[in-house]
């Protein structure tokens, strides 16, 4: 007995998957325990907050400094942050609303936009990680060629091509996603309605192979080649027992390469269950129909990837970590200055000092000095952090 007979004994497996088949498949997901929905929503709240504010901070760190904007690696990091921010702003809220109502209440346009943007962000992230890996490969193994190949203007064009390619590849999703309400079910659902089941299978397999497997194998090869060069260089450094400026640059590139490897692994593991479940549903591998119940958790795991990168940068990106510490210190300094200013003004009022009195002038000078010191501290904070961020890549 195959999946179609489980859904409805009166239907048989055919190349043309009817709307009724898909509706009954999605309707079975309504039977999941309410506790699952509560757990998913409770997890979505911190995921959304971390993804939204974390990626905003990433953009703030990089885009506010002219020196950092000259680094090609930072352009790719900005692009990753933008994709994660779009997932946080568009995909996560709409998915959470869908879980709250257990039906689709946002209309056809939102149905198409949510699925389309999720696919675009996935493809754009994969291509960005792939291009960034090539950039790090040439920076480590062929430094001179890297400066010629990955110029700032060329990286900008690559990022543009990344979004253009992602938009074209995922375009079919925007056409096949529909909000369906049928007599077999009482609620509306946002689902993919393909002309034939074979077309759905071909598209999903092609997408997984071209956008997931092929880039994955390419990344593994690049990381192995980078690892061989970095490992050999580390051995030489240990033997020499000294670190020159060139070696410091190489060690910084090593940190960035290691961070990129972890970013790639996190991305792969976060979206792998989602792709596996899609393939299993397309090819009716799960005859019991229970696999669809894990679908919301697979999407949640994929969306959580948007909150992972900022956390990773805090621990592994030296400049990013330093910027946050400096930002906290500047905030504390600013708070202390405001308290000191309030104290000085209160003393001034208690002494009934006029603007012309020496006491007022002395206090006023102290306030101005505090304000100047605070501005200087903030300026120094951003300047020192920018220098560290620039040297970290």
* Residue 346 reports pLDDT greater than 90: no
User: Do residues 271 and 305 touch, judged by C-beta distance below 8 A?
Assistant: yes
* Residue 110 reports pLDDT greater than 80: yes
Percent of the chain with pLDDT over 70: 67
Confidence of residue 387 (pLDDT cuts 50, 70, 90): very low
* 244 φ, ψ (degrees, to nearest 5): -90, 180
* 26 φ, ψ (degrees, to nearest 5): -75, -30
pTM of the model: 0.74
> How far apart are alpha carbons 101 and 116 in whole angstroms?
21
Mean per-residue pLDDT, 245-257: 69
Mean per-residue pLDDT, 139-151: 86
Q: How confident is the model at residue 336, as a pLDDT?
A: 56
Mean per-residue pLDDT, 168-190: 84
Other beta carbons less than 10 A from residue 380's beta carbon: 12
Mean per-residue pLDDT, 242-270: 76
Confidence of residue 319 (pLDDT cuts 50, 70, 90): low
Other beta carbons less than 10 A from residue 371's beta carbon: 13
Find the range with the poorest average confidence among 61-75, 220-234, 256-270, 332-346: 332-346
> How far apart are alpha carbons 306 and 300 in whole angstroms?
10
Q: Which has the closest alpha carbon to 45: 299, 262, 307, 257?
A: 307
> How far apart are alpha carbons 305 and 268 in whole angstroms?
9
Angle, helices 107-141/152-169, rounded to nearest 10 degrees: 140
> How far apart are alpha carbons 74 and 58 in whole angstroms?
10
**Residue 272: helix, strand or coil by DSSP?**
helix
What is the 8-class DSSP label of residue 88? I
Q: How confident is the model at residue 1, as a pLDDT?
A: 37
Mean per-residue pLDDT, 5-23: 44
What does the pLDDT look like over 283-302, one tens digit per residue?
Answer: 888 766 677 788 889 999 99
Question: Per DSSP, which regions of 131-231 are E strands?
Answer: 177-180, 189-192
| Average pLDDT of the chain to the nearest whole number | 76
Angle, helices 295-316/318-350, rounded to nearest 10 degrees: 70
**Residue 107: helix, strand or coil by DSSP?**
helix
Q: How confident is the model at residue 145, as a pLDDT?
A: 86
Q: Which is more confident, 379 or 43?
A: 43
Mean per-residue pLDDT, 125-147: 89
User: Do residues 126 and 302 touch, judged by C-beta distance below 8 A?
Assistant: no
Chain centroid, CA 216 distance in Å: 18
Mean per-residue pLDDT, 214-233: 85
Q: How confident is the model at residue 165, as a pLDDT?
A: 96
* Residue 328 reports pLDDT greater than 90: no
Mean per-residue pLDDT, 86-105: 88
Q: How confident is the model at residue 181, as a pLDDT?
A: 80
């Amino acid at each position: 007995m195959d999946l179609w007979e489980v859904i409805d004994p009166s239907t048989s497996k055919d190349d043309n998957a009817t709307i009724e088949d898909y509706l009954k498949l999605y309707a079975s997901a309504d039977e999941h325990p309410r506790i699952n929905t509560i757990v998913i929503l409770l997890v979505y709240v911190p995921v959304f907050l971390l993804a939204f504010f974390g990626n905003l901070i990433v953009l703030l760190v990089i885009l506010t400094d002219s020196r950092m904007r000259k680094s090609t690696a930072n352009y790719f990091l900005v692009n990753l942050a933008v994709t994660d921010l779009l997932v946080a702003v568009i995909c996560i809220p709409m998915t959470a609303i869908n879980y709250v109502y257990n039906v689709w209440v946002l209309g056809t346009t939102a149905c198409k936009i949510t699925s389309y943007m999720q696919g675009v962000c996935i493809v754009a992230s994969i291509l960005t990680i792939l291009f960034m890996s090539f950039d790090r490969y040439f920076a480590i193994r062929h430094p001179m060629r890297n400066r010629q190949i990955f110029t700032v203007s060329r990286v900008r064009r690559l990022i543009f091509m990344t979004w253009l390619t992602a938009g074209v590849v995922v375009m079919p999703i925007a056409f096949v996603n529909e909000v369906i309400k049928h007599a077999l079910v009482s609620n509306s659902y946002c689902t993919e309605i393909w002309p034939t089941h074979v077309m759905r299978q071909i598209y999903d397999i092609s997408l997984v192979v071209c956008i997931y497997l092929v880039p994955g194998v390419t990344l593994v090869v690049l990381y192995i080649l980078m690892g061989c060069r970095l490992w050999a260089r580390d051995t030489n450094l240990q033997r020499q027992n000294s670190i020159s400026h060139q070696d410091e640059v190489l060690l910084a590139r090593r940190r960035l390469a290691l961070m990129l490897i972890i970013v790639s692994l996190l991305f792969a593991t976060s979206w792998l269950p989602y792709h596996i479940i899609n393939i299993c549903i397309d090819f009716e591998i799960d005859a019991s129909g229970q696999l669809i119940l894990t679908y919301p958790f697979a999407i949640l795991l994929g969306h959580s990837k948007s909150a992972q990168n900022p956390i990773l940068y805090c621990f592994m990106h030296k400049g990013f970590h330093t910027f946050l510490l400096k930002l906290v210190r500047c905030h504390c300094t600013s708070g202390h200055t405001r308290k000191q200013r309030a104290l000085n003004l209160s003393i001034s009022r208690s002494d009934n000092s006029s603007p012309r009195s020496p006491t007022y002038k002395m206090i006023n000078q102290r306030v101005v000095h505090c304000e100047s010191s605070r501005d200087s501290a903030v300026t120094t904070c951003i300047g020192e952090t920018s220098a560290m961020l620039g040297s970290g890549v």
